[in-house]
Chains A and B, each alone.
Chain A
């Protein structure tokens, strides 16, 4: 069901954790709050779940007001499922009983059926009788998801669901979590500081900073059309080089005049810092433009080179890893940018 937050604020002694936060996740969609630690993501989640009480603003699910304007629905009446960072499985119950824990209005047979159905959905049909300590981290995580989904909640919240897992199982698990959420037709909101997780799972992502939502968008737009410098910095890699807008879709820089689509309305003559993504900077031996390699990071299929431009500004570039260049070497580059993101220079 549709989730809506209207100007939700929550402050803790001395600090404002959330400031007038508004967002909407449409029914059946998977949203994500992305941000560094302390940006208020988890507080937002806990306000939605009802573990925290907002100081102001409203929380609505499926049109029903859960908090705000004198209304307060306690967490146990909200029908909002939650997957906790440390999974919070009940240690005295096996996987099946954990999943069946919240199924209270069904008879015994129906409870068992629903629990089995969900364990199979998350691929743990064979582990139903195991206790939490007998399961791997990834398995515990999937039991926690099955448990949250079992009572058919209006909304599922996932709080840093992969942060306690090994890096190599995260992405795979993220895809299976997405599949399970879609199979149940659930509306979900997840919180993470890891953009790869966010990209792997979410339909829409909100970037948070210091209790405010900086941008709420589909992942592609966050990357290619960030609205603030913070979003540009936090999502993906990149650097800024100085430039001047010289016409519609034309920015003059030390690397020449770059043509593309300006994502912001900027008149000619505006001084900007232009965002360069590593995939905008292409290694081309034939190019006259030269840059010096100052750092290199081997990533298997690619190198990520940090380059010093003639003016001293830096740029990043992904280069296929058969182009092995030493630090100090000068290599040819050209620009291939379609989206020109320039922030007014202060």
Chain B
């Protein structure tokens, strides 16, 4: 077989990997521009104002809360010393394992008028005592904020640990006290990281479907879902999806601006332990109380509630159906993880082999999915497959749906959404393999594809494992794509959570939710362990 020329091969492979994402985006843009003008008029008059306002308020509120919580906690655990600091440094990552929709239904179940907490408060303080309603804009902002602050915490902590102590010492030598140093030096320096964390939170909030559904808070994602299922109007769904993409683009641009001219540069880390600022006496306990409250609200209390409900309901609810939910969830997550990994490796290797223009652009396009909400992708995937199906029918003269409503459709959605998650660690693994090793292998007579098998794959090692784990758990948690494109009968744990919460059956939602949280703890523990080890080594 004649090998592909060194120039064309990688470009072809990279383009092929990017093709589904391109097709999905093209379908949305094309479909939305085809929409009936009357439909647009209806949308702008009755739906859009509320949905736009709701979405904007939600994003701004959540980002503000998450940045406030994440930055202050990162500063406390990275640069200060207070009782329990070592524990909190690690434990404050744990809410990452708790999907926003789980936190949402636990909050509603316990804090709503008839919930355990207000009932207990009324019993204690008298029947007239009014607890602020949880089903409110503030409530949904609080819930998503507590579920997503760890993104900011992670980024800010990384920034403070890499050049926290060192820069502060420099600031102190110039006459700034530690707190002035924080405001004048550490936070401005961490700006690119903070902007990155805030952008992740904004993406998650724009993409959130489960939590806002629990609160009946109408945003773009729920509007798309309702257009899809309630009105059965593909055009409306596509139009809303396109508008939501516009919001995503605004958020991404805002991130670029907020970064300022700083860049994520790895500071040359000093080889000594950072000197932490001791918080004596009451101040230390205030820090303890703050960190403890966030940890309790974001993870501990909802976790306890989930375990209690799950234990109560398990004897009644846990039957053969659950085995099916679990098997379906695991097989979907496994297939998606391996598909994403294979494509990530193909994309990474294409970029490695070629210095051309096409592979990096293809990589950007193929990994856009992290920013594109699941509801949008679902609509796009179904549209694309519908076009393919009708082309198939006209070719073969047969009828029926070849691709729509199959597992393949579902996998396509997952791959579009989560390829970026696998690409990150794979790309990092490739970057650590020195180019001289490839030259050595070639001078020993190996063709490029042999080099991939005998050199890169063995050396990628940890990156491959991380990629698989991250995609696996993300697919387990995934709700909108699964809901909107799954074949009949393919109910996953997340679908079960959605259905139970839609009916207000909080207790019965706890069982699948607990399984998702426990699975989610795996990557969180792994990543925090790695990050803390890297921070200690620095």
Contacts and interface: CB of A to CB of B under 8 A. Distances in A.
Interface of A: 49-51, 74-82, 84-86, 88-92, 101-102, 104, 147-148, 151, 157
B282 interface: no
Contacts of B436: 84-86, 88
A147 to B, nearest CB: 7
Nearest to B3: A74
B502 interface: no
Contacts, number: 61
Contacts of A78: 443
24 contacts: A49-B443, A51-B439, A75-B442, A76-B443, A77-B445, A78-B443, A79-B445, A82-B440, A82-B443, A84-B439, A84-B440, A86-B436, A88-B434, A88-B436, A90-B440, A90-B441, A90-B455, A92-B458, A92-B461, A101-B444, A102-B445, A102-B446, A147-B440, A148-B443
B458 A102 contact: no
A90 B457 CA distance: 12
Contacts of A76: 442-447
A88 B440 contact: yes
B443 A90 contact: no
- Residue with the greatest number of chain B CB neighbours at <10 A, chosen from A78, A101, A151: A101
Nearest to A103: B444
Nearest to B433: A91
Contacts of A88: 434, 436-437, 439-440
Contacts of B445: 76-77, 79, 102, 104, 151
Contact of B444 (A51, A74, A102): A102
Contacts of B444: 76, 81, 101-102, 147-148, 151
Contacts of A104: 445-446
Closest 10 CB pairs of A and B: A102-B444, A88-B436, A82-B443, A88-B440, A75-B442, A76-B442, A92-B458, A84-B436, A76-B445, A88-B437
Interface string B74-109: 000000000000000000000000000000000000
A59 B445 CA distance: 18
A67 to B, nearest CB: 14
A99 to B, nearest CB: 10
A92 to B, nearest CB: 5
Contacts of B454: 101
Given A92-B459, A102-B444, 12 more contacts: A49-B439, A51-B439, A75-B442, A75-B443, A78-B443, A81-B443, A82-B443, A84-B436, A90-B459, A92-B458, A101-B454, A157-B443
A257 to B, nearest CB: 56
Nearest to B444: A102
B435 to A, nearest CB: 9
A75 B435 CA distance: 14
